[in-house]
Structure 1
Amino acid sequence: MLRAGTISLRNLSLAQAHLGHDATSLPLRYLMTSAAFPRVKRSSQPISTLSRTALRFSDEVHSALESKKPLVALESTIISHGMPYPQNYETAVEVEKIVRDNGAVPATIAIIDGQIQIGLSQDQIRILAKLGRSAVKASRRDLAVVLAKKQTGATTVSATMLLAHRAGISVFATGGIGGVHRGYENTMDASADLTELGRTPVAVVCAGVKSILDIGRTLEFLETQGVTVATFGNTSDFPAFFTRTSGFKSMLNVKTPREAAEIIAANHAIDLQSGIVFGVPIPEVDAMDDALVGKAIDIAVKEAHEQNIFGKESTPFLLKRVNELTGGGSLKSNIALVKQNVSVAARIAKDLSTLKAHSVGQTRSFSTSSRYMRRNESIQRPTMVIGGAVVDITATAHNTMLDSMLNSSFPGVTRISLGGVGRNVAEGISRLDPSGCVFVSAVGGATIHWSKKEDSDGPIARLEATDDLFGSWLIQELGHRGQHKHEIITVPGSRTATYTALHDATGNLLSAVADMDVFELLPSVKVKEAIIKHNPKVVCFDANLSVECIRTILETCHKCDIKTFFEPTSVAKCIRPLHLSMFDTLLDGALRFASPNEYELQEMAASARNLINENQNYAPFRRLSQKPIRKPEGIKNTVYPGFLLDAFYVLQFIPTLFVKLGAKGVIVFQRQDSQLDRASKELEDWSTRTINTRSFPSLKVQDIKSVTGAGDSFVASVVTSLSNLDRFQPEISSGLVTSHDEVLWAHIEQIVEDGQIAATLTMQTHETVAHALGMSRQARRLQALTSK
């Protein structure tokens, strides 16, 4: 049982872990005060901050991130600077095998020719092992230099923590962490590992602080940084690298990987932004004699002082000298403790992965995205769009083309521009809404290949890269326009999306090639982190994404109480949210809105029927009426037979539909659930649900220049309205209205009219999104609200 008393930053995660998820929401409301959080909160920047430097993932690590397998980060300085060749290579390979044998995936981190690599191949490990100290020993401070100079660098504990966090990896195994050096009062020499632990939420599994250092002062430093320090095992004695005890105590001991995983999960849940140290004592059979190693360390420290060796060169020198003085005994101990640490780390990572899979959402009250923390922040929260950013390449011939000309070249004009449904919607929102928009998309990364050459040691392999020029241009253009924040995720080895169209002189499309594969590879884990990081009011996503990525968006938004809007994009892709595997997610109400055209609605209805047919054991589906919707006035001859029935089936899974009919207008359907419906999914007969319908004729448009982007502008306007509905209807945010849907329907005429105006403005230009959206009635209304 926890005693009453002062709770510091480093204790909060322990408090949550010991109280349990169900017992934490109430106390935390009292803990989250300026007294409990005296430090300025650091901004978490997972993944996106380094996207422009093209983090490259090995296939194994990329697959693990996609499938949410447990991962263990491994540093590379231990390969280049910690051991001689070939022991360093052999140990690194064996260490990765131990991680796999214990149910996790290893991710050794290094910089190869100026490129951050998350996960190394055996050839890359061998190259690094052979380079030895010729590789740059790269701490946090060195990263920018090594990248800029395109050098090869081995990452220290601090750099590995930073890059592991950016890559979405929470557990890191190493030999021992750096610390305060002996004689600190004269040299002020302390490892960057300690400050990194104070600002990066990664758990470090190690054999304690290297015994060549001042362990007592190191532990005091870590306490000042708010770092949780625990011993893994049956005692709280803090280990001393080569020996099992140091004479100092940890703040607690953890006996099982599960207990360690629970502390890590709690640390993440309350967003402490600090690391955790789990000290694992070296196996007794491999531990060194205290007196022997102590004497060797004293001699090595003295020699380092005499030779004026300090800074980042100090630790490699001391470890090498201690190994010499102990007749190679310290190297054997070093290898043994590293192997044990990675075994423990892999088991912790595995249990942490299980916890995340089964407990996501149970700790929402601890998150900065909880309703308690967000109640008064809705106006500042942005809208998020996740989807396609495409380079549009349009070639137009100077003359009318004959069929015979298609087998040859011909004079014409080529234009390049930004496109993509997601990007267009994001630009529209950013023009309309002063609260801003965050755009998440993917571009291709450099294609990696190997070239071999000879040196004195025989053939060696070298990484070479071919840059993705379209991706670089797209990122640059988005930055220049500055209309919205963007998180552009680089997918290594893929191509940036392009749409290449050939037109004749009259503007008629002759043929086109759409290369959109990169969006299928957008890592779900990075999308999830972007959502959690920005905590948007509404997430709009298009159908370019994979089914797995869409599922991640819906599940994450549902748990964080974020509304979701689906833009179907095309007939071929519109059914992805209605995949059979989405059944439970959709029944939970995770997808709230969609904007199909009539052809997309037909396809989505077929998938909805399939979902119902495959789940006939679900009681509400047995009684669905075949004619549940009354035809609204104004659409007698504007829709195909079966239109209303199709809408009804899709409404069972997506409760609000904005159906775009082009020149025929817009029809809105809303499933008006009763309070009983919202409280339980077990309503016996869903055909009793009320379906609201409203038809809106199209607006008259003069001087149409292009219809390209009109639908995207409509969606941008509607999503903007949904994001700001609580600003027009304050009782929503204050909790006085029981149904958000009722308020939405009361404002539906204004929402649709604003959307149609946005579409009209775009049709009157050659732009995919009209600049005039920023001067529309809707934009002026929101600007006026913001200035109050």
Structure 2
Amino acid sequence: MAVENSLCKLDASTASYTSLHDHKGDLIVASADMNIIEADWTKHIMLQIDQAQPKVVIMDCNLAENCISQVMAHIDTCSDAKVVIEPTSIAKASRLGSLHSSCLRVFPQNIIKMVTPTASELGQIYDSFARKELFDDYDDWFPVLDSLGITSSFREKLASNKTLAPFLSSGILQQAFSLLPYLERILIKLGPQGVLEVAISSDVSAYKSIPTTSQYSPHCIVTSDGHKIGENHMGVVIQYFPIPTENENITIKNVTGAGDTFLGVLMAAEPTWLQPELTSVEQEWDKWHQIYIAQLASGLTLQTDSSVSTEIEKWKK
């Protein structure tokens, strides 16, 4: 691993993580000391962004709220990079709701382009936004939500969809809808159930012309019919990706690094789809393929004692 851009803090302890798993490899309890990550790394991170000029900046919620807020503000004014947030844990996910208000602007001025929570982390993010009364913003938040076409008929369509109905009854979809004006795209990791994507689209009608003959296509695609802007209709796009068949009936050794593996592999492909516009069939097919590969890589990590599987490089090739 390259370390030339790393920063040492001699008066602090290296981050540590201890976890206990059952005989199936499932997590029972974990404890982490991430205090060093919560130090003020803001200037160092900004410098690295200025030097590297990345297309995507991924931050996790181990970082302190003030650091995340300042880095996001810097990206907003000095970089074209798209911001992706990994919530890290249920406890840390609530930090999203505590970010500076300038970092939580609504679509299309939103800074955060995607978050990648588990279902439990999604609930924590929702609760943190509710506590900050971000769902009581009738000047900015509500008009965006209202424009997405999340009507009673759309909810009925979801309720009649055998694949998506459980996510509606559990409240996952309702929470995602409320958060979308701030976060634009939510990729929900569901473990053995796969991945659920809920995103804003600036033209939902474009999905009608996307062929689903790809072997990596989602199990289902459902769109709402929102406000018309010019010739296009705003709306929500929901796509469900079950786990690859290669990940079925695997022997799980630990679940610690599966989420990090998934996001790392997904973003390594320099995604062109972190935007509300669907510009081509290739853009969408690339996303489907990348999600498939990321799930495969996550499955490899589940089967190793290491935090990340060394077999991943084979899948990248």
TM-score range relative to shorter protein? 0.7 to 0.9
Equivalent of 2:49 in 531, 546, 550: 531
Structure 1 stretch displaced more, 575-584 or 690-699: 575-584
Q: Deviations over 1:483-536 (max 9, x none)?
A: 334533234643322224568999898865422112221331221111111111
- TM-score by length of structure 2 reads 0.74
Name 1:715's counterpart in structure 2.
263
Matching residue's letter, 2:174: L
Name 1:616's counterpart in structure 2.
138
Matched length: 278
Q: Which residues in structure 2 correspond to 1:241-640 (within 5 Å)?
A: 483-491=1-9, 493-501=11-19, 513-559=31-77, 560-579=79-98, 581-583=100-102, 585-587=104-106, 588-609=109-130, 610-618=132-140, 620-621=142-143, 624=146, 631=158, 634-637=163-166
Matching residue's letter, 2:64: S
- TM-score by length of structure 1 reads 0.32
Counterpart-to-counterpart distance in 2, 1:689 and 1:540: 27
- Measured at CA, do residues 639 and 528 of structure 1 come closer, stay the same or move farther in structure 2, by a change above 3 Å? same
- Measured at CA, do residues 507 and 698 of structure 1 come closer, stay the same or move farther in structure 2, by a change above 3 Å? closer
Are 1:760 and 2:282 counterparts? no
Counterpart-to-counterpart distance in 2, 1:504 and 1:698: 22
- Measured at CA, do residues 670 and 763 of structure 1 come closer, stay the same or move farther in structure 2, by a change above 3 Å? same
Counterpart-to-counterpart distance in 2, 1:775 and 1:634: 32
Name 2:210's counterpart in structure 1.
none
The SS at the match of 1:517 is coil
Structure 2, unmatched stretches of 5+, are 205-225
Are 1:641 and 2:160 counterparts? no
Q: Deviations over 1:656-677 (max 9, x none)?
A: 11111111111111101259xx
Q: Deviations over 1:703-759 (max 9, x none)?
A: 3333221221111121123x1549xxxxx9xxxx99367664343321211111111
Question: Percent of counterpart pairs with the same letter?
Answer: 24
Counterpart-to-counterpart distance in 1, 2:162 and 2:24: 39
Counterpart-to-counterpart distance in 2, 1:651 and 1:619: 9
- Measured at CA, do residues 552 and 583 of structure 1 come closer, stay the same or move farther in structure 2, by a change above 3 Å? closer
Question: Does the 8 Å CA contact 1:701/1:760 hold for their aligned counterparts?
Answer: no
Kindly state the Cα deviation for residue 633 of structure 1 after the two structures are TM-superposed.
Answer: 5.2
Q: Which residues in structure 2 correspond to 1:60-75 (within 5 Å)?
A: none
Q: Which residues in structure 2 correspond to 1:130-141 (within 5 Å)?
A: none
- Measured at CA, do residues 719 and 502 of structure 1 come closer, stay the same or move farther in structure 2, by a change above 3 Å? closer
Equivalent of 1:689 in 218, 234, 248: 234
Counterpart-to-counterpart distance in 2, 1:641 and 1:546: 30
- Measured at CA, do residues 697 and 548 of structure 1 come closer, stay the same or move farther in structure 2, by a change above 3 Å? same
Counterpart-to-counterpart distance in 1, 2:290 and 2:228: 31
- Measured at CA, do residues 755 and 572 of structure 1 come closer, stay the same or move farther in structure 2, by a change above 3 Å? same
Q: Deviations over 1:507-566 (max 9, x none)?
A: 898865422112221331221111111111211111100111111222223331101211
Counterpart-to-counterpart distance in 1, 2:297 and 2:51: 30
- Greater length-normalized contact order (CA 8 Å, ≥ 6 residues apart): 2
The SS at the match of 2:175 is helix
Matching residue's letter, 1:616: Y
Structure 1, unmatched stretches of 5+, are 1-482, 676-682, 727-731, 781-788
Counterpart-to-counterpart distance in 2, 1:619 and 1:647: 14
Q: Which residues in structure 2 correspond to 1:183-202 (within 5 Å)?
A: none
Structure 1 stretch displaced more, 491-500 or 660-669: 491-500
Kindly state the Cα deviation for residue 773 of structure 1 after the two structures are TM-superposed.
Answer: 0.7
Counterpart-to-counterpart distance in 2, 1:706 and 1:749: 26
